[in-house]
Amino acid sequence: MAANWQRGMMRLMRIANHPTEVVEIRDFTPWYRRIVFRAPDVVGAVDVFPTLWLRLWVPHPAKGDGFVVQRGYTFVTVDAATSTFSLDFVLHDVAGPAGDWARTAAVGDRLEVALTPARIDIPDGTTTLVLAGDATALPAINTWLQAAPPEVETRVLLEEEHVDRDALPRTVRENGSWEWVERSGDRGAALAEAIRSSVAPQPGVYAWAAGEKTLVKNVRGVLRDHLTLDRGRHFTQFYWIEGKSTG
């Protein structure tokens, strides 16, 4: 029986689940929401680094009562003093268990989360950090902007065209630029073009990109062909797939 196979797998892998409780909800825009969770276990267990994410267990009512599925979300803050952490949710229009849960979340709601940290670091000698993606990558991009050493130049390029995008949370840095890119054609096609025209191939570049699968593929192409970055100088990850549920 396929019932909650994801939870079965995690149990087999001996990955612990930790309880959390919603303590605060803040909307930056009608479609981008920050939720603060109280979770002493989690806050005590995490070693914070840029892009650190967790697996959130959310109810999937369509699959039955009590059925839960896991979805990836990025830590945007971790506060030891209050034993809280926060996650930013894109409240997407197409229904999905995590988006739907976040849209109707209320203070006092309880969920479990699991941690499977995979550390990521920029290589020595990095002088320019290129950060690209869509709104789902914004939480991680903000963690990069907080953690990057001041002497490293940051170049953010985000494909996002909501009219209220300027209300989204953005970590401000002196040594950095931010470019909104309007989608045109396939996801990521305009973003790849923007990277091609505004970032010159040069030593010391490290690039990180995440978001929708086609977007990431388009960006990866330009990181390899135009910026000629080898494996150690870039990292890309699909965060979601248009038209396909995570399962």
Ligand X SMILES: Cc1cc2nc3c(=O)[nH]c(=O)nc-3n(C[C@H](O)[C@H](O)[C@H](O)COP(=O)(O)OP(=O)(O)OC[C@H]3O[C@@H](n4cnc5c(N)ncnc54)[C@H](O)[C@@H]3O)c2cc1C
Give the residue closest to ligand X by C-beta: 96
Return the number of the residue (53 or 128) whose C-beta is nearest ligand X.
53
Give the strand order in the sheet containing 176-181. 176-181, 153-159, 128-133, 205-212, 234-240
Which letter, b or e, does each residue of 5-43 get, where b requires 16 or more Cβ atoms within 10 Å of its Cβ? Answer: ebbeebeeeeeebbebebbebeebbebbbbbbbbbeebb
Task: Determine how β-strand 128-133 pairs with β-strand 153-159.
Answer: parallel
62 binds ligand X (CB under 6 A): no
We find the least distance from the C-beta atom of residue 52 to ligand X, in angstroms, to be: 9
Per CB under 6 A, 239 contacts ligand X: yes
Sequence-separated (6 or more) residues with CB below 8 Å from residue 60: 67, 68, 69, 97
In a 3-state reduction of DSSP, which class is residue 180?
Answer: strand
Given the complex with ligand X, which of 83 and 246 has the nearer CB atom? 246
- Cβ closest to ligand X, residue 50 vs residue 128: 50
Interface with ligand X, residue 236, by CB under 6 A:
no
- Contact between 136 and ligand X by CB under 6 A: the answer reads yes
DSSP 87-114: EEEE--SS--HHHHHHHH--TT-EEEEE
Does position 33 interact with ligand X (CB under 6 A)? The reply is: no
**Should residue 245 be labelled a site residue for ligand X when binding is judged by CB under 6 A?**
yes
Alpha-helical runs (H) found in the chain: 5-12, 40-45, 97-104, 138-147, 189-198, 213-225
Applying CB under 6 A, among 42, 46, 68, 139 the residue interacting with ligand X is 139
Check binding of 90 to ligand X (CB under 6 A): yes
C-beta of 210: minimal distance to ligand X in Å?
Answer: 7
Measured CA angle at 137 (ends 200, 69), to 5 deg:
150
Pick from 34, 57, 99, 235 the residue near ligand X by CB under 6 A.
99
Q: How far is the CB of 97 from ligand X (least distance, A)?
A: 4
Q: Of the ranges 41-49, 65-73, 104-112, 215-223, which one interacts with ligand X (CB under 6 A)?
A: 65-73
| Only segment of 20-28, 36-44, 170-178, 237-245 that touches ligand X (CB under 6 A) | 237-245
**231 part of the interface to ligand X, by CB under 6 A:** no
- Give the side-chain half-sphere CA count within 13 A for 34: 18
Q: Is 98 in the site for ligand X (CB under 6 A)?
A: yes
Please give the residue ranges that form the binding site for ligand X (CB under 6 A): 53, 71-74, 87-90, 92, 94, 96-99, 136, 139, 239-246
